[in-house]
Amino acid sequence: MKIRIAITVALFATGCSDHLKGQRRPEVGIAVAPVSIKGNGLGNAGPVQPVSGGVNTLGVTVPTARASIGRIENALEKRAPASTGNFARAIAQVRTNLPRVSNPKEASGFDQVQLLSYAACSDLTRGTNPLMQSVYGIQPGSSIANNEAALIAAGRRILDQNAAGLASQGPAATQVTTVLTNLVQAQAASGSNTSTMAFMAVCIAATTAGATLLGI
């Protein structure tokens, strides 16, 4: 009986909203007087600026040059800034070739985004205590197999930055993990690959997916 009551109360609370809230009448039988909005006029009827999403509200979009760079920075939590290192040099080299328009049907230069991702990811592998170790917990001197869990976690973390956390939680999390696991194991299968190379593959995949392929 208690359960039935609890279910009833819950459904009542969610299914039947408090629809009278905000419509309270001050006095029975008297309509609420219209209130003018200061500065409003017929010229302002309807949106005067493009609504969110622009004219292509139902379509996918791609980031153009500056946005691509920003998303790569974002994916790597600003630890590979666009102003220094390989990332900066790569930007100087390919900046004229990045996508110029956000419509995927007209844009080109996606390949250059991957090259930027490559350069930015490489900045995380530099030095005696590289950021891939201090931030993502990947031991450069250890095998890919030993680093597998950290590599997969790194991929999820990178993708999370441009996907609002959906890579590590939500209905796609399992599939994301599977993709990253397959990628890491493919790198391990090649005996000459190092953990640094495996990290690069993971980092490039997650960064480019988040920066370019999500359509948002």
Partner 1 sequence: MSYKARQNYKDLIDKAPHPTITRRELLKRGLATGFLSIAPSQMILGALSPKAYGATLTCPPTTMSLGAIAQIFSEGGPTMGARFIGDDQAGLMNATMAANYGITGTNLVRLGPNLNIDSTSPFGATLLQGPTGFPGGAAAWRTNVLSKLSAGGHRGPFNMDDGAGVNTGLLGGISAFKASQMSKDLRIGVRNKLANWATGLSSVSTNGGGLNSAGLARLFTVSPAPAGLVTPQSLTDASNAAVDLADALGTVLGTPTRNAASELKNSAGCAFYGNSTIADPNFGAALFNPGNIAALTSALTVASLSAAEQALLASYYQSARGIIGGVILQLGGRDYHDRDPATVIAPADIEEARALVMFLAACHAASAKGAFLYFSNGQAIASGVANVAATIGGVATTVNAPIARGDAGGSYNAGLVIFFDPISTPPTALMTGTVSDSGSVRVAAGIGSPQVAVSGLYLSALKWINNGSIPAGAAQAMGVANPSGITVI
Q: Of 148, 212, 137, 138, which is closest to residue 177 (Cα–Cα)? A: 148
Least distance in Å: CB of 181 to partner 1?
10
Least distance in Å: CB of 39 to partner 1?
29
- Distance CA(82)–CA(69), nearest Å, equals 7
**Side chain identity at residue 7, one-letter code:** I
**Which parts of 16-75 interact with partner 1 (CB under 8 A)?**
16, 19-20, 25, 28-31, 56, 58-60, 62
Least distance in Å: CB of 204 to partner 1?
4
Residue 139 found at the interface with partner 1 (CB under 8 A):
no
**Which residue in 14, 36, 83, 129 binds partner 1 (CB under 8 A)?**
14
**Which residue in 54, 78, 81, 111 binds partner 1 (CB under 8 A)?**
111
Residue 149 found at the interface with partner 1 (CB under 8 A):
no
Least distance in Å: CB of 143 to partner 1?
16
First to last CA, the chain: 48
**Which residue in 90, 120, 131, 154 binds partner 1 (CB under 8 A)?**
90
Degrees to nearest 5, angle at CA 13 with 11 and 14: 65
**Which residue in 6, 11, 145, 149 binds partner 1 (CB under 8 A)?**
11
**Which parts of 174-203 interact with partner 1 (CB under 8 A)?**
175-176, 179-180, 182-183, 186-187, 190, 193-194, 196-198, 200-202
Instruction: Name, in order, each residue with C-beta under 8 angstroms of 162's C-beta and a sequence gap of 6 or more.
Output: 71, 74, 75, 210, 211, 214
The number of CA neighbours under 13 Å toward the Cβ of 14 is 5
